[in-house]
Amino acid sequence: MKKILLSLAIAAVPYFGFAQDEEEAPKEGWSKAGNVSLLFSQSAFNAEWQGGGTTNYSVNLTGSYDANYKKGRVAWDNRLMVDYGITNQRNQEFSKKTNDRLEFNSIVGKQLSDTSKWYYSFFFNFRSQIASGYVFGEDADGNETRTETTKFLSPGYFQAGPGMLWKDSDNLKVNIAPATARLIVVDSQFTEVDANDAVALAAYEPYFGVDANESTRFEFGASIGAYGKFTLLENVSMENVLNLYSNYLEDPQNVDIDYTMNLVMTVNKWITANTTFQAIYDDNAVQGFQIREALAIGLTYGF
C-alpha cells in the first residue's frame, strides 16, 4: 500500500502545474510576499439549553512569508510557515492544541543555461513545533491530567543536501537531492533511562528514532521536495507541498511521506475560507499515517 501511495504521489507532481495561470518572467532582485490569517470559532450555551452542546472556542493563526531572489542564472527561494491553534471547552482544565507547525525552507540554485528549467541546487529545511504537546488523561479522583510528550525542538528536524532543481516558476518546482543529511534533535528528558536498569533499557522505545540517553539521530539518504500552486476557479486556489525522504542507513524502503494541501477560497480582501489536509508517514514516530484536516473561515491580511 505504501509503495502504491508513493508512486501516486510522485506521478501527481507534474499535474500540479496543469491549471496554472500564465506568469510573467521573474524579475531580477528580491520579490517578497506574505500573509497572516486569524481563524476563530465559538459556541455558547446557557444552563437551560436542552438541545445538547458544550460552550467552547477555538483560535487558529496561520502565516507564511516568501522571500525569493534572482540575479542572472542564480535563484534563491526562502519560505517560512507558521501554524498554531488551540481549543477549549467549558469545564476543561487545560486548553488543547489543534495545530502546531513551524517550518523554514531555503533552496539556492544555478541555472544550467539561460533557457533551461534545471538548476544545480542546495537546499536546507528546518521543521519543528512552537509549543509543548501533551497526552491527556484522568487521575484517580477524575481530575484531568496531562503529560508532556513533545516541545519546541523535540523533535526538531534539520535537512540539507545538494541536488537538482526543476523550476518552471515560483509556483511550480521539484527538487531532487540524492545525498541528503538529516539530523533529528530531541530533548534528553524524553530519552533518559537508567543505563544500569536492564529492564528499563529493554522496554525503551526509540523517541522519534532517537536511542535511549541520546539527544540526536543522524540519517543520510535521498529526498524529493515538490511544490505546486494553481488556480481552480476564480478566487479559489490550491497549494500542494510534497516531501519524500528515504534513509540509506536504515530501512531505506520505508519512505517518509509528508503531503499538505491548502485550499484557499477568497471572499474579499479580508475574508477567506481555508481547508487544510495533511498526511504524514514516519515510522520513527508512529507505525501508520498521521492525518490532519481543518476547515475554517477567518480574517486574512496579505503583505
Q: Tens digit of pLDDT for each residue in 256-266?
A: 999 999 999 98
106, amino acid identity: S
Length of the chain: 303
Task: Number of helices (H) and strands (E) in the chain: give both, helices first.
Answer: 2, 14
How far is CA 26 from its chain centroid? 27
- pLDDT given at position 45: 79
Lowest-confidence pick of 102-106, 250-254, 271-275: 271-275
Q: Is residue 58 within 8 Å of residue 86, measured between CB atoms?
A: yes
CA distance 268 to 234: 12
Query: Which tens digit of pLDDT belongs to each residue from 146-177?
Result: 999 999 999 999 999 999 999 999 899 999 99
- How far is the C-alpha of 62 from the C-alpha of 39, rounded, in Å? 8
Decide if pLDDT at 228 tops 90: yes
Instruction: Determine the 3-state secondary structure of 236 from DSSP.
Output: strand
| pLDDT tens digits along 8-59 | 444 444 444 444 444 455 678 999 999 888 888 788 877 778 777 788 888 9
Burial of 238 from C-beta contacts in 10 A (0-12 / 13-18 / 19+): middle
Average of per-residue pLDDT values in the chain: 88
Instruction: For residue 10, count other CB atoms closer than 10 A to its CB.
Output: 14
- Give the pLDDT band (50/70/90) at residue 232: very high
pLDDT value of residue 22 = 47
Whether the per-residue pLDDT at 7 is higher than 60: the answer is no
pLDDT at residue 25, as a whole number:
57
pLDDT in tens, 171-194: 999 999 999 999 999 999 999 999
Supply the pTM of this predicted model. Answer: 0.86
H/E run at residue 268: none
Measured at the alpha carbon of residue 231, what is the angle toward residues 225 and 232, in degrees to the nearest 5?
110
